[in-house]
Amino acid sequence: MKKSQGNIFINDNTGGYASFIRDALSRLAAGFPVDGASYYEYDSRYKLLHLRVCNAGGFSYDHEDHIRPEPGTPVFRALEKMEPVSATLPCGIHLYYPFLFECDEYSAPRFGRSVSVSRIGLIRLERRSGHNDFTSEEIENISTFMENHLVNYYRYEYASLRNTHEKNLKAVTSLAEVFAKSLNKQSRMEAADEKGKSQKSDDSLRAILSGVQMHFGFDRVRLFLIDKNEDMDILKGELSVDITGKVKDLSLEQIPLEPGFHRFADIILKRNSEAFLDEYKDCVVYVPLVVGGETIGLMIGDNFTSQQPIEKQELALLRSLGTQMALAVHNIRLFKKVQAMAKYDSLTRLPLRSYFDERFQEEICRSIRYGHKLSFMFVDIDLFKIINDTYSHQTGDEVLRAIANTINKTIRQKIDFPGRFGGDEMVIFLPQSSTEEAKGLAERLHRAIRDIHIDTGSEREIKLSVSIGISTCPDDAETMETLKNNADLALYWVKEHGRGKTMVYSELPPDYAEERALHEARKKPGER
Amino acid sequence: MKVWLLSDYDNRKHQAFRGLIYRSTSGASGDIKIEVKSRTNLWRSLFAHLRDARNNPLPDVLELPLNWTRRFASLGVLADLKPHVRYLAEKAYLPAVMAELCRHGDSAIYSVPWWQKSPALYYREKVLKDFCSDPAAGLSTWKGFRRILDRLAETSRFHNHRLLSIPGSSGPVSLGEVLPHIWGRRGGLYSDDFTRATFTRDETIGGIQDWLDLAIDGYVRLFSQDRFDNGYLPDEDCVFMLSSRRPSYLGGKMKLLPYPGCAGGGGLLLVNNLAVSSTSLCQDEAFSLVSWLSDGLNAGIFADYFGVFPCCTAAFESRISRDRESDVLRRIYSSPEVLPNFSFYPSAELLLQNLLWKLSLKISEGKFLQEDLRRELIKAQGEADYLLTLD
């Protein structure tokens, strides 16, 4: 009879808990005269023994079976008393060795709670019928072996818990760094790269979500933020990151914050941040993001694909990180808003000159590089000063808004790019558009603007119209300033010839540019 | 080289595999480490790798159910075998198998069909002769099968055999037991166009209910300690056996019929494939091993050992034609249906598995109510519908 094998400590990087058990069973089966060995875990809640690993013929392999031990049976007695029990059964001789592993030593004061692990296991050693029963000496030797094994088992579990603790600390540290970086970048509004472009706030959101996905191992993490509108608050999708690291734009997902409309809305409206644990259900967790008592959004981690339940320990960690996350996301949003204010006109919500010029220049370079046409349009509201003076500035603002909205609705979405150059002047650049195509858009704009009705509060009706001047790259010019000047010239022609129509630079009379230049030169300084 | 093999309900399969590897003369064996994983562990291990690749490396070669291929190919876990596995393009398989593997029209093939099985009914002719004059007709439907089972249960004339054996039964009502039955009823987890889940369709509910009734009526003992105390009884020591294996040791003791409800074919075909991981550092050797294993001759030897069939048509035909009940086997394997190879499908199977677990616990504790099944299926269907939106 072989004695116990001594320490069989397995480095916890050899393949996990299952590998450790397999190896232990192999050594047990090799060290004692048995025909087989099996490892079970006992679920005291449902009183079930779950077979996990078998060893036969010196080879360990996964096996699944689920048994409810019946009262009075040898295995039931072994589990009840937590003592080895030997039994002679029709199929052979069994020795059941139950063991209890408990570890309260691992405490995580940072999270305000200690983590305990409790596991009941059972080793079953098997001999075929006809062989000798397990003698008391054998049982004692096996017990000694198992006690040694359990020492290593404790070490393994402790190492595993320590690794989990370190992993969680690392998650807290790394994620806190990600959050802090996001805060720092937004507060300094730094220009990150050599071209002078600022770090996009979306990159920071992406970093936050990717960090959460990576550290918690969710199949998917999604971020929704509350967008407050005059009519109704909306929960708008931002980004999602999946287990492969793929980032997806969720901006098309918009959920009205109305009770009963959607699960997410109910969570935002009916629950506070303290109650997110109540929403825990197997493989999805909802983390409301709260700043200063106000919920600004919702982060959702799910394991729908793998159907793997989320560990309760993960919830505690998420909860503690939730506040930092919320603050970081909040600051990113503030930065986005400030950026938007710098880029967009508050009245018409059209891009302002500096942002328009930036995008226009990019597009000119692109069109020259790839040999595409690019058209530019000046859109001037006819007699705007008179409207402003006759009615009110409020009516004037309404006119500007209405025309800006009409432009936004008429242009090609996400392709054509409008802007406001101040006063009553608006501009549009149209990528991959010829002069003819630009003229077509201009015509549609004229028709749409003619149909605008403005409530002046009186019986008098304002008939709106615009004058449009067009130039096209590369036909009319290849630089931004020249394209603008040429379109401006065409616009002047329209203004001089009755307004309310379109002119393209290339169709201007040959001497018009020269005449215009002379006319400008003769003007007194105050008239220009 | 490391190989992950899926476990089976006894150790015949992995013994056969180890024997095959040791006998290998192809030079593809080299130093091969085999790890046998349960289906649950394989699934968890693959996702553990995705979460933390460094500490959860993949093997070089892995066995997986055919209908997991799309899921793990889309997650970047599997390597394209088409350029590397010998004769893959030329090998013939049952049309239903390749149709499912190449369902999405990809130019790549991420796993190779290896072995297949289809559930069938075995019966002991001697015992049955007093209860059913024409077993082929009487046992062609589930209703007919239950009628005869119930009549037998009222007597004690089993000649010391168990009434019903379900080899591989592991405690709860399992997905593997229920799916063939759902298929027999023409039910399924999703509609034919895969736009909505059909967990609450009558055929699906009926299929699951039929199997639960076996447990409720005591023909199947859930979480029974019998196996624990008495070991696995010989599969064939029974009057009826529902099994996907075709073991040679049965001899003439039990006769074979198609699964009740699939008398004319169209039954469920369960296929297991071989794949090479995308992270394998010895991919050339891995491709060679997969080629060798999936070759008709080797796959045939392997499959024969534990009573299943190789996927290669030539080897499959050869095996069937040697069988004394080849005509019944041909009916069983005619127009088979393979589990759909969609990325969301394995997750939906898990939903059903979790549901069956919950219901099994209730039945075993005597707390099961009829409305429990429909209620759980309604919940699961909502989640299964949501799975369709994930990709």
pLDDT value at residue A474:
94
pLDDT value at residue A106:
47
pLDDT value at residue A198:
40
Residues of chain B found within 8 Å of residue A264, distances taken between Cβ atoms: none
pLDDT value at residue A518:
74
Residue A195 lies in a domain: no
A411 and A494 assigned to the same domain: yes
pLDDT value at residue A110:
41
Kindly determine whether residue A59 and residue B18, on different chains, have CB atoms separated by under 8 Å: yes
Is the pLDDT at B186 greater than 50? The verdict is yes
- As a whole number, mean pLDDT of residues A192-206 equals 55
Return the residue of A nearest to B55 by Cα: A13
- Structural domains of chain A, count: 3
Q: Among B229, B354, B389, which would you mutate to test the A interface (most chain A Cβ atoms within 10 Å of its Cβ)?
A: B229
pLDDT class for B145, splitting at 50, 70, 90? Answer: very high
Minimal C-alpha gap between A65 and chain B (Å): 4
Place of tokens 């005059």: A230
Residues of chain B found within 8 Å of residue A219, distances taken between Cβ atoms: 47
Half-sphere exposure of A310 (CA within 13 A, CB side): 28
Is the pLDDT at A391 greater than 70? The verdict is yes
- As a whole number, mean pLDDT of residues A178-207 equals 57
Structure tokens at A357: 């010029």
Q: Supply the mean pLDDT for chain B.
A: 89
CA-based end-to-end distance of chain B: 33
A360 and A479 assigned to the same domain: yes
A395-424 pLDDT, tens per residue?
Answer: 899 999 999 999 999 999 989 999 999 788
> What's the CA gap between B341 and B194, in Å, rounded?
11
> What's the CA gap between B188 and A430, in Å, rounded?
52
Is the pLDDT at A211 greater than 50? The verdict is yes
pLDDT class for A281, splitting at 50, 70, 90? Answer: low
> What's the CA gap between B223 and B208, in Å, rounded?
18
A154 and A247 assigned to the same domain: no
Chain A interface includes B82 (CB < 8 A):
no
Residue A276's domain comprises: 201-343
Q: How would DSSP label each residue in B186-246?
A: T--SB-TTSSSB-TTSHHHHHHHHHHHHHHHTTSS-TT-SHHHHH-PPPTTSEEEEEES--
Is the pLDDT at B349 greater than 60? The verdict is yes
Chain A interface includes B44 (CB < 8 A):
yes
- As a whole number, mean pLDDT of residues B286-315 equals 92
Chain A interface includes B234 (CB < 8 A):
no
Q: Do B243 and B90 touch, CB atoms closer than 8 A?
A: no
Residues of chain A found within 8 Å of residue B15, distances taken between Cβ atoms: 57
Residue A29 lies in a domain: yes
More confident residue, A260 or A18: A260
Q: Supply the mean pLDDT for chain A.
A: 82
A290 and A435 assigned to the same domain: no
A331 and A458 assigned to the same domain: no
Kindly determine whether residue B56 and residue A16, on different chains, have CB atoms separated by under 8 Å: yes
Kindly determine whether residue A307 and residue B227, on different chains, have CB atoms separated by under 8 Å: no
Of B28, B6, B43, B89, the residue nearest B298 (C-alpha): B28
- As a whole number, mean pLDDT of residues A232-238 equals 91
A318 and A359 assigned to the same domain: no
Place of tokens 């139950």: A98
Place of tokens 């970047």: B76
Instruction: State the maximum Cα–Cα separation within chain B, in Å, rounded to a whole number.
Output: 63
Of the three residues A343, A375, A404, the one that is the final residue of a domain is A343
pLDDT class for A454, splitting at 50, 70, 90? Answer: confident
Minimal C-alpha gap between A172 and chain B (Å): 17
More confident residue, A191 or B216: B216
pLDDT value at residue B55:
85
A331 and A364 assigned to the same domain: no
pLDDT value at residue A199:
45
Residues of chain B found within 8 Å of residue A305, distances taken between Cβ atoms: 71, 344, 347, 387, 390
In CATH, what number is assigned to the domain containing residue A410? 3.30.70.270
Residues of chain B found within 8 Å of residue A68, distances taken between Cβ atoms: 223-225, 364
Is the pLDDT at B28 greater than 60? The verdict is no
pLDDT value at residue A502:
96
* Residue of B14, B170, B223 lying closest to A64 (CB–CB): B170
Kindly determine whether residue A91 and residue B231, on different chains, have CB atoms separated by under 8 Å: yes
Kindly determine whether residue A67 and residue B228, on different chains, have CB atoms separated by under 8 Å: yes
Residue A124 lies in a domain: yes
A326 and A368 assigned to the same domain: no
Chain A interface includes B55 (CB < 8 A):
yes
**What DSSP state is assigned to residue B312?**
B
* Residue of B7, B50, B231 lying closest to A63 (CB–CB): B7
Residues of chain B found within 8 Å of residue A16, distances taken between Cβ atoms: 48, 56
pLDDT value at residue A278:
41
Is the pLDDT at A468 greater than 90? The verdict is yes
Kindly determine whether residue A64 and residue B40, on different chains, have CB atoms separated by under 8 Å: yes
A413 and A478 assigned to the same domain: yes
- As a whole number, mean pLDDT of residues B372-387 equals 93
Residues of chain A found within 8 Å of residue B170, distances taken between Cβ atoms: 64-66
Residue A88 lies in a domain: yes
Range among A285-294, A444-453, B81-90 with highest mean pLDDT value? A444-453
Minimal C-alpha gap between B319 and chain A (Å): 29
Lowest mean pLDDT among A439-443, B19-23, B93-97, B200-204: B19-23
Kindly determine whether residue A305 and residue B390, on different chains, have CB atoms separated by under 8 Å: yes
Please enumerate residues of A whose Cβ is less than 8 A from a Cβ of B: 13, 16, 18, 46, 48-49, 54, 56-57, 59, 61-70, 73, 75, 87, 89-92, 217, 219-220, 243-244, 304-308
Is the pLDDT at B19 greater than 70? The verdict is yes
Domains of chain B: 2-116+270-328 (3.40.190.10), 120-167+235-258 (no CATH), 175-224+344-391 (no CATH)
> What's the CA gap between A214 and B111, in Å, rounded?
28
| Percent of chain B's residues with pLDDT above 90 | 63
A324-379 pLDDT, tens per residue?
Answer: 888 888 888 888 788 777 888 889 999 999 999 999 999 999 999 999 999 999 99
Is the pLDDT at A165 greater than 80? The verdict is no
Chain A interface includes B386 (CB < 8 A):
yes
Of the three residues A104, A139, A164, the one that is the final residue of a domain is A164
Residue A2 lies in a domain: no
Chain A interface includes B87 (CB < 8 A):
no
Residue A183 lies in a domain: no
Q: How many residues does chain B have?
A: 391
* Residue of B76, B223, B230 lying closest to A89 (CB–CB): B230
More confident residue, B360 or A269: B360
- As a whole number, mean pLDDT of residues B233-239 equals 73
Range among A125-139, A205-219, B39-53, B145-159 with highest mean pLDDT value? B39-53
A298 and A359 assigned to the same domain: no
- As a whole number, mean pLDDT of residues A294-317 equals 88
Is the pLDDT at B23 greater than 50? The verdict is yes
Is the pLDDT at A170 greater than 80? The verdict is no
Q: Is the ipTM of this complex over 0.90?
A: yes
> What's the CA gap between A304 and A284, in Å, rounded?
7
A146 and A30 assigned to the same domain: yes
Chain A interface includes B390 (CB < 8 A):
yes
pLDDT value at residue B87:
67
In CATH, what number is assigned to the domain containing residue A207? 3.30.450.40
A370 and A312 assigned to the same domain: no
A4-39 pLDDT, tens per residue?
Answer: 222 222 223 334 566 677 777 888 888 888 999 999
Residue A171 lies in a domain: no
* Residue of A70, A75, A304 lying closest to B390 (CB–CB): A304
Of the three residues A343, A378, A397, the one that is the final residue of a domain is A343
Minimal C-alpha gap between A256 and chain B (Å): 20
> What's the CA gap between A328 and A306, in Å, rounded?
29
Place of tokens 């058990």: A21
Is the pLDDT at B2 greater than 60? The verdict is yes
Query: Angle at Cα B242 formed by Cα B241 and Cα B244, nearest 5°?
Result: 120
Residue A52 lies in a domain: yes
> What's the CA gap between B68 and B101, in Å, rounded?
10
Is the pLDDT at A316 greater than 90? The verdict is no
Q: In angstroms, how far is CA B43 from the centroid of its own chain?
A: 15
Q: How would DSSP label each residue in A326-362?
A: HHHHHHHHHHHHHHHHHHB-TTT-PBPHHHHHHHHHH
Residues of chain A found within 8 Å of residue B51, distances taken between Cβ atoms: 217, 243
